[in-house]
Amino acid sequence: MSDNNDTNGSGQEPAGAGRPGRVVGTPSPAAEKKLLASEDISAPAGSGEELDEQSAKRAERVVALFFLTAFAASIGFIAYYIVWSGRDGGMHGIDRARESNYWLGGLMALSFLALAIGITIWVRRLMTSKPLVQERHEARADDETRRQFGETFMEGARDSGITKRPLLRRTLLLAAAPLGLAPLVLLRDLGPLPEKRLRRTYWAEAVRKAKAQGKRGVRLVVDGTNKPLKVSDFSSPGAMITVLPEGIEEHAHHPLNEIAKAVTILINIPEDQMKPALRNRNWDVNGIVAYSKICTHVGCPAALYEQTTHRILCPCHQSTFDATDAAKVVFGPAARPLPQLPLSEEDGYLIATDDFPEPIGPSFWERG
């Protein structure tokens, strides 16, 4: 099937067609006609036949200069390696690896680039371009070849005994069948369905554990220092901090996965600025409220809290939530408010008394 198998029709002009034949894969000359002025039709693009000797000489020198540059750069590469990098165990050791990389890479790039530029100038300025025609041979083999192939094939089959020895044939098929099925099994990786895992966060489990110990809820700790927060600790209006349920790093099954879902921002809003929707929920402690940090649009961390406007901005798509109004969406593509965590106070500490009342993060099909 290869193109240089030119038994048929190579170099033949289509007789009497009046249009030039074309190289396989080049654009149709009909299209080119539209681009060229009519007197240029006979002139293949970039013909060099009119090249005067003077300009050819000039081009030759330019190309030679580029080739010499490539040569020098390659020699430089070798010399740099031998004289500099190759010593001390190669590549300057660790200390100066970056410098070595710059020099070696730069010289090699220069060498390749100079070669490429030289060749391109050579082609453009010195070589002529003529239309070359190479007809494809017929795809169908002739009858004699086909008959011979059939004979050889059948002879081989008989020789291997695959028709005569059914046990071999059947066990071979048996061996191949599971191989064909194997990729199907991998489709399982598209799942499994999340089931109920997206509905609950670690807050639920942490609250359950705390209640089992006779407490009313789980303490809030600062993400990073694991310091449990007292109500008095977080008393400055306009304060914000990222919090997690206490014990998530020690006791969660997959701490990073659970933190990614349970991460929450704690905000202290002056009580007189709380709107009825937020106040009526009664999930705040003296104006301290907690919202999920995961944007309900596509799940970016929305935590750009402005204490002047009490807005929470998501940096990905500018969804904006009003922290004084139960995180209602005031701008942007998010469709639902950030879920709020019910807070309370126990022994002076801030606690969460339940999980978020709805799934956090972006919508999903089964969310309902």
Q: How far is the CB of 35 from other proteins (least distance, A)?
A: 9
Based on the shown chain and the rule CB under 8 A, indicate whether residue 49 belongs to the binding site for other proteins: yes
Helix (H, G, I), strand (E, B) or coil at 166: helix
Q: Which stretch binds other proteins (CB under 8 A): 72-80, 81-89, 185-193, 307-315?
A: 307-315
Q: Which residues in 236-265 contact other proteins (CB under 8 A)?
A: 236-242, 263
Sheet holding 218-222, edge to edge: 218-222, 349-352, 343-346
Give the strand pairing for 288-292 and 340-341. Answer: antiparallel
Structure tokens at 80: 């740099």
Helix (H, G, I), strand (E, B) or coil at 306: strand
238: left (phi over 0), alpha (psi -120 to 50) or beta: left
Based on the shown chain and the rule CB under 8 A, indicate whether residue 351 belongs to the binding site for other proteins: no
* Identified binder of other proteins from the candidate list 149, 153, 331, 364, rule CB under 8 A: 331
Based on the shown chain and the rule CB under 8 A, indicate whether residue 22 belongs to the binding site for other proteins: no
Q: How far apart are CA 8 and CA 137, in angstroms?
A: 5
According to DSSP, the residues that pair with 294 across neighbouring strands are: 301
Q: How far is the CB of 32 from other proteins (least distance, A)?
A: 10
Based on the shown chain and the rule CB under 8 A, indicate whether residue 291 belongs to the binding site for other proteins: no
Q: How far is the CB of 55 from other proteins (least distance, A)?
A: 9
Structure tokens at 352: 């969460």
Report whether the peptide linkage leading into residue 192 is cis, meaning its omega lies within 30 degrees of zero: yes
Q: CA triplet 292, 295, 300: central angle to 5 degrees?
A: 115
Chain position carrying tokens 């927060």: 229
* Identified binder of other proteins from the candidate list 137, 199, 311, 328, rule CB under 8 A: 311
Based on the shown chain and the rule CB under 8 A, indicate whether residue 272 belongs to the binding site for other proteins: no
* Identified binder of other proteins from the candidate list 13, 40, 155, 366, rule CB under 8 A: 40
* Identified binder of other proteins from the candidate list 47, 74, 134, 286, rule CB under 8 A: 47
Estimate to the nearest angstrom the gap between the alpha carbon of 265 and the chain centroid: 30
Q: Which stretch binds other proteins (CB under 8 A): 34-42, 187-195, 211-219, 271-279?
A: 34-42
Based on the shown chain and the rule CB under 8 A, indicate whether residue 350 belongs to the binding site for other proteins: no
Q: Which residues in 98-117 contact other proteins (CB under 8 A)?
A: 98
* Identified binder of other proteins from the candidate list 72, 81, 104, 125, rule CB under 8 A: 125
Neighbours of 204 (CB within 10 A): 17
Based on the shown chain and the rule CB under 8 A, indicate whether residue 352 belongs to the binding site for other proteins: no
Structure tokens at 13: 């002009």
* Identified binder of other proteins from the candidate list 39, 53, 195, 250, rule CB under 8 A: 39
Neighbours of 189 (CB within 10 A): 7
**Could you tell me how many residues make up the chain?**
368
Q: How far is the CB of 254 from other proteins (least distance, A)?
A: 19
- Per the CB < 8 A criterion, the answer to whether 291 and 338 are in contact is yes
Helix (H, G, I), strand (E, B) or coil at 125: helix
Q: Which stretch binds other proteins (CB under 8 A): 17-25, 119-127, 193-201, 333-341?
A: 119-127
Q: How far is the CB of 247 from other proteins (least distance, A)?
A: 18
Q: How far is CA 304 from CA 79, 222, 267, 308, 309, in A?
A: 55, 17, 11, 12, 11
Q: Which residues in 222-241 contact other proteins (CB under 8 A)?
A: 222-225, 227, 229-230, 232-241
Q: Which stretch binds other proteins (CB under 8 A): 37-45, 74-82, 151-159, 208-216?
A: 37-45
- Per the CB < 8 A criterion, the answer to whether 304 and 293 are in contact is no
Q: Is the CB of 47 or the CB of 69 nearer to other proteins?
A: 47
Please give the residue ranges that form the binding site for other proteins (CB under 8 A). 39-40, 42-51, 98, 120, 124-125, 222-225, 227, 229-230, 232-242, 263, 267-268, 301, 303-309, 311, 313, 315, 318, 320, 331
